Amino acid sequence: MKESRDLYYIAALADGEVKDPSEEKSLRDKIEKDPGLQFEYFVQKSIKRLVSERLNISRVPEKVRIRLERKISPRNRLNHFYKMIPDIYFTKPLAAWGSTIVLLAAIALIIFNRTPTAEFKNFAFEQSGSGNMYVQAMNNFENILAGKLAPQFVSDDAEKIKEFFKKQGVEYPVYIPEIKDWKLVGAVVSVDHGEKFAHHVYSMSGGKLVYLFQVDETEIKKHNFLTLTDDLVSFLDSGNCYESTKGNLVTLITRVKGNIFAVVSNGSPGEIENNLCQLN
């Protein structure tokens, strides 16, 4: 019974229907500690993202709706149901249902053989060392909150921030997502072993902040001083988005337009995930 209730709330969280911040935090803490719930949440989010990407739903015309309602009225439902079933299921039931089972099994194999276990493992736990991009992003955000790291360039204009990065010597193309209800605050360029890297910050409602550190993926692969674990990079290259919560902070790693984003925020995990994971 408890498992069914947990799955119900996991589905609600994936659909963005949990509005109480304390309840959302409690659910995410529970997911973080339970690999089974991590897998269930991953499946729910993947299905939601796949459906939203592939289906464009438009309103059914009124005439069509009325006609459909008439056809599926109680006395017509049974006939309608039988008409939907191909004749082969009645004329050759063994062959038809056997083929259906094989097809369903093939679909299941395709789904469950895609990068197993890695899809719901705790990548955050594996990131370590002062040169790790995830660790650096966490430390930088804590310094921002403590007032120890301030923007070098203040602007709410994405194009001006891109120009700032270019003038400061950032050599890779920088992508600045423009998110509804998020306001750009400014940007910083860091220098590591002579290489320059781009960072920018948004403000959210309630005074919350979103910090985004991005690098060209080749920077991760060609240098030893800026790192992420190989399995996390492979996970991102497969089009996945990794999100984790710890205390009041949410961290997110994703790949957008050839750049790897490391995001840290003290805002709503659901809002961060919904706005940034869809970019990959």
Q: pLDDT by residue (tens digit) across 101-154?
A: 655 665 565 555 544 445 567 899 899 999 999 999 999 999 999 999 999 999
Q: Of all residues in the chain, what percent are helix, strand and coil, respectively (each to 5)?
A: 55, 20, 30
- The lowest-confidence range among 12-16, 67-71, 168-172, 267-271 is 67-71
* More confident call, 59 vs 277: 277
- In tens, the pLDDT along 179-219 reads 999 999 999 999 998 999 999 999 999 999 999 999 999 88
Closest by CA to 45, choosing from 26, 28, 58, 23, is: 28
Residue with token string 């120890």: 148
Q: Which of 10-14, 89-93, 153-157, 253-257 has the lowest mean pLDDT?
A: 89-93
**String of b and e for 221-254 (b: at least 16 CB within 10 Å)?**
eeeeebbbeeebbebbeeebbbbbbeeebbbbbb
AA identity, residue 226? L
Residue 239: closest CA among 222, 214, 264, 257:
257
Using alpha carbons, select from 242, 238, 247 the residue that is nearest to residue 262.
242
Does 163 score more than 90 pLDDT?
A: yes
The continuous run of DSSP H or E covering 85 comes out as none
Q: Residues 50-59: contacts with CB within 8 Å, 24+ apart?
A: 52/278
